[in-house]
Structure 1
Amino acid sequence: MTMLTRNQIGALGEQLAVEHLESLRLRIVARNWRCRYGELDIIAAAPGGTVVFVEVKTRTGDGFGGLEYAVTPAKVRRIRRLAGIWLAGQEKRWAAVRIDVIGVRIGRQRTPEISHLRGVG
């Protein structure tokens, strides 16, 4: 396997996360939505009118500890703030809002491992 750059690894992880979400019947509303305060990786619509803001963490190997440690309270606050800005710009009213984290581990096994934490914030 050729070595991938950090950006390529991140893009691959995001694509795998999108496929995972679609397999759960979520519809992708936006990817890499940016404003001056930062970026939201994936915004998805779940059945029942829930909007889900998804942070994707892509790793190669085990060097960083578990997925739980990757998303700090400060990071959750940042995602919440960005989600609020995105929501303020929408015509549609959502029934509920959720923040999820999807961890993608590449390279340890032949198929990437995906873990999905729902409702972290």
Structure 2
Amino acid sequence: MQRPLRSNRTASGRAAEDTAAAHLQGTGVSVIERNWRCKTGELDLIAKEGDVLVFVEVRSRTAPSRYGTAVEAVTPRKCRQVRETAGVYLKMTGAYGSPVRFDVIAVTFAADGSVAELRHIPGAF
């Protein structure tokens, strides 16, 4: 049984989310939820910029990757799932009707684990 691959993926995902949260906070955006889950899925980061709720999908890759870039990992199917889950969040928190935005933060790690690139795409979908 090979568990190390999963724990490496989990650690890489956590590092990418930490990096993304720090980036957002550095730009004055407040992170209000991390890894919010319900039956439809998970929202990596939920933030607030002024009166706008920002739902952030975080993706990561290690360079070079044979699986494409982190941005390319945000598929139409994933966008639909994030929108649906955001709808559940809005309903459950009573924030339905609030202005919202969907961002992507793509983090590429170098082989040594350092951040090689961070790409923030506001209003990505």
Bucket of the pairwise TM-score, normalised by the shorter protein: 0.7 to 0.9
1:18–1:94 CA distance, 2 compared to 1 (3 A): farther
Q: Which amino acid aligns with 2:101?
A: R
> 2:57 corresponds to which residue?
55
Size of the aligned set, in residue pairs, is 118
SS at match of 1:25: coil
- How far the C-alpha of 1:61 sits from its partner, in A, is 1.0
> 1:82 corresponds to which residue?
85
> 2:101 corresponds to which residue?
98
> 1:107 corresponds to which residue?
110
Could you tell me the TM-score, scaled by structure 1's length?
Answer: 0.87
Unaligned runs of 5+ residues in structure 2 are 1-6
> 1:71 corresponds to which residue?
74
Alpha-carbon contact 1:50-1:94 (below 8 Å) kept: no
Q: Does 1:30 align with 2:33?
A: yes
Supply the RMSD in Å over aligned alpha carbons: 2.0
- How far the C-alpha of 1:95 sits from its partner, in A, is 4.1
**Bigger mean CA offset, 26-35 vs 103-112:** 103-112
SS at match of 2:123: coil
Task: Output the CA distance in 1 between the equivalents of 2:9 and 2:93.
Answer: 32
Could you tell me the TM-score, scaled by structure 2's length?
Answer: 0.84
1:75–1:120 CA distance, 2 compared to 1 (3 A): same
Task: Output the CA distance in 2 between the equivalents of 1:55 and 1:11.
Answer: 13
- How far the C-alpha of 1:120 sits from its partner, in A, is 1.6
- How far the C-alpha of 1:36 sits from its partner, in A, is 1.2
SS at match of 2:93: coil
Deviations 1:78-118 (A, max 9, x none): 10000000000113466411111101111157741210111
> 2:3 corresponds to which residue?
none
Task: Output the CA distance in 2 between the equivalents of 1:61 and 1:5.
Answer: 15
Unaligned runs of 5+ residues in structure 1 are none
1:58–1:110 CA distance, 2 compared to 1 (3 A): closer
Match of 1:9 among 5, 9, 12: 12
